[in-house]
Amino acid sequence: MIAGMPALTHKQQQDAVERIQELMSEGMSSGQAIAQVAAEIRQEHQGDNVAVMFDEDDDTVNDSDEEHYFDDGEEEDEQ
């Protein structure tokens, strides 16, 4: 889920694209059409539960209190 949007099936995504194109063909700007379709999708899915999995396997590998620095090859300005 991205920014409060429910996960959609491929068919639902295609339907959303077609709805956006329909609104744009009626003279609505792309931004307005996208916002309206997103609001419609949120309304339709209000209260739905979305299963989310977090892969935390790599989070603890080499997990230490060391500070890591990136050398971009540039010399630092001395003040």
Q: Helix, strand or coil for residue 35?
A: helix
Q: How many CB atoms lie within 10 A of CB 67?
A: 5
Residues 31 and 24 sit within 8 Å (Cβ to Cβ) = no
Please give the structure tokens belonging to residue 68.
């890591």
Top-confidence residue, 27 or 10: 27
Query: How does pLDDT run across 41-67, given as a tens digit for each residue?
Result: 888 877 655 555 566 665 555 555 566
- pLDDT 10s digits, 32-42: 999 999 999 88
